[in-house]
Amino acid sequence: MSNVENYKLYETLKTIDKKEVLQIKRILRSPFFVLRNDVGDLFEYLIKFHLKSKPFPQKEKVFEKVFPEKKFDYTLLRGTMSDLYELIEEYFLIKKRRGDKIKTRHLLAEIYRQRNLSKSYQSVVKKTEKILDGQPLRNEFYYRQLLNFQIEEKEFQVKNQRTKTFNLAEISETMDVLYLIQKLKHTCTQFTHQKVFKTNYDFGLLPNFLESIEQERYLKIPAVAIYYYCYRFLNNPDEVDFFEKFKTLLSKNKEQFDDLEMRGFYLFAINFCIRKLNQGDRKYSHEILEWYQNGLQLNYLLENGKLSRFTYNNIVAVGILLKEFDWLENFISTYAEKLDPDYRDSTVSFNNARIAYSRENYGEVMTHLQNVEFKDLVNNLIAKTMLIKVYYELEEYDLLFSHLDSFQIYIRRKEVSDFHRMNFMNIIRFVKKIIALPEMDKKGRKTLRNEIEAEEVLTEREWLLSKVL
Handedness of CA 252, 258, 261, 266 (dihedral sign): positive
Do the Cβ atoms of 229 and 243 come closer than 8 Å?
A: yes
Do the Cβ atoms of 181 and 139 come closer than 8 Å?
A: yes
Q: Give CA–CA dist 258/256, Å, rounded.
A: 7
Do the Cβ atoms of 84 and 39 come closer than 8 Å?
A: yes
CA distances from 78 to 41, 48, 72, 82 (A): 14, 19, 11, 6
Task: Work out the angle at residue 366's Cα, subtended by the Cα atoms of residues 365 and 372, and round it to the nearest 5 degrees.
Answer: 100
Interacting residues of 291 by C-beta distance below 8 A, sequence separation 6+:
266, 269, 270, 273
Residue type, 37: N
Q: Give CA–CA dist 134/161, Å, rounded.
A: 27
Q: For residue 292, count CB atoms less than 10 angstroms from its CB and return exposed for 0-12, middle for 13-18, buried for 19 or more.
A: buried
Do the Cβ atoms of 13 and 21 come closer than 8 Å?
A: no
Q: Which residue, among 24, 31, 26, has the nearest Cα to 9 in the 3D structure?
A: 24
pLDDT at residue 198, rounded to an integer = 61
Q: Give CA–CA dist 151/131, Å, rounded.
A: 17
Residue type, 458: L
Per-residue pLDDT of the chain in tens (469 residues, 90 and over written 9): 444 456 799 999 999 999 999 999 999 999 999 988 899 999 999 999 999 999 999 999 999 999 999 999 999 999 999 999 999 999 999 999 888 888 899 999 999 999 999 999 999 999 999 999 999 999 999 999 999 999 998 998 888 866 667 778 999 999 999 999 999 999 999 988 776 656 677 777 888 888 888 887 899 999 999 999 999 999 998 989 999 999 999 999 999 999 999 999 999 999 999 989 888 888 899 999 999 999 999 999 999 899 999 999 999 999 999 999 999 999 999 999 999 998 999 999 999 999 999 999 999 999 998 767 777 888 899 999 999 999 999 999 999 999 999 999 999 999 888 889 999 999 999 999 999 999 889 999 999 999 999 999 999 999 999 999 8
CA distances from 441 to 166, 393, 395, 434, 437 (A): 88, 20, 20, 11, 7
pLDDT at residue 4, rounded to an integer = 42
Cα maximum dimension of the chain: 98
Cα 260 → chain centroid: 10
pLDDT at residue 6, rounded to an integer = 64
Q: Give CA–CA dist 181/138, Å, rounded.
A: 11
Per 3-state DSSP, what percentage of the chain is helix, strand, and coil (rounded to 5)?
75, 0, 25
pLDDT at residue 195, rounded to an integer = 66
Q: 12-39 as b/e, with b when 16 or more CB fall inside 10 Å?
A: bbeebeeeebeebeebbeeeeebeeebb
Cα 345 → chain centroid: 21
Q: Which residue, among 209, 153, 151, has the nearest Cα to 181 in the 3D structure?
A: 209
Handedness of CA 322, 324, 329, 335 (dihedral sign): negative
Cα 181 → chain centroid: 21
DSSP codes joined into one string, 60-89: HHHHHHHSTTS---HHHHHHHHHHHHHHHH
* Helix/strand/coil (H/E/C) assignment for every residue in 377-427: HHHHHHHHHHHHHHHHHCCCHHHHHHHHHHHHHHHHHCCCCHHHHHHHHHH
φ/ψ of 239, rounded to 5, equals: -80, 60
Element (H, E) at 306: strand 306-307
